[in-house]
Chains A and B, each alone.
Chain A
Amino acid sequence: MTDEKPLIEIERRITGGDFQSAGDVSSELKRILQQIGFPAAFSRRVVIAAYEAEMNVVIHAFRGIFRAWIFPRHIHIEVDDEGPGIPDLELAFQEGYSTAPPHIREMGFGAGYGLSNMKKCSDRLEIDTRVGEGTKVVMDFFLKDS
Chain B
Amino acid sequence: MAVKIRDLVEPLEATVLVAGDMEREVRGGYCGDLLSDCIAHAVEDSVWVTVQSHPNVIAVAILVGIPCVVVVNNYDVDKETLDRAQKEGITVLRTPLSAFEAVARLSALGIPGKKRREH
Report which A residues bind B (CB closer than 8 A).
19-20, 22-24, 26-27, 30, 40, 44-45, 47-48, 51-52, 55, 107-114, 116-117, 120-121
Contact = CB atoms under 8 A, between A and B. Distances in A.
B64 to A, nearest CB: 8
A93 B22 CA distance: 39
Contacts of A55: 35
Given A48-B119, A120-B118, A121-B119, A23 B56 contact: yes
Interface of B: 33-37, 39-40, 44, 50, 52, 54-57, 59-60, 62-65, 80, 88, 118-119
A52 B39 contact: yes
A45 B119 contact: yes
SS class, residues of chain A in contact with chain B: helix
B33 A108 contact: yes
Contacts of A23: 55-56, 59-60, 62-63
Given A114-B36, A120-B119, A107 B62 contact: no
* B52, B62, B88: residue with the most chain A Cβ atoms closer than 10 Å: B62
B39 A51 contact: yes
Q: Which 4 A-B pairs have the closest CB atoms?
A: A23-B59, A113-B36, A111-B34, A111-B36
A53 B39 CA distance: 13
23 contacts: A22-B56, A23-B59, A23-B63, A26-B59, A27-B62, A30-B62, A44-B44, A44-B119, A45-B119, A51-B60, A52-B39, A55-B35, A108-B33, A108-B34, A108-B35, A108-B57, A109-B36, A109-B56, A111-B34, A113-B34, A114-B36, A117-B36, A120-B40
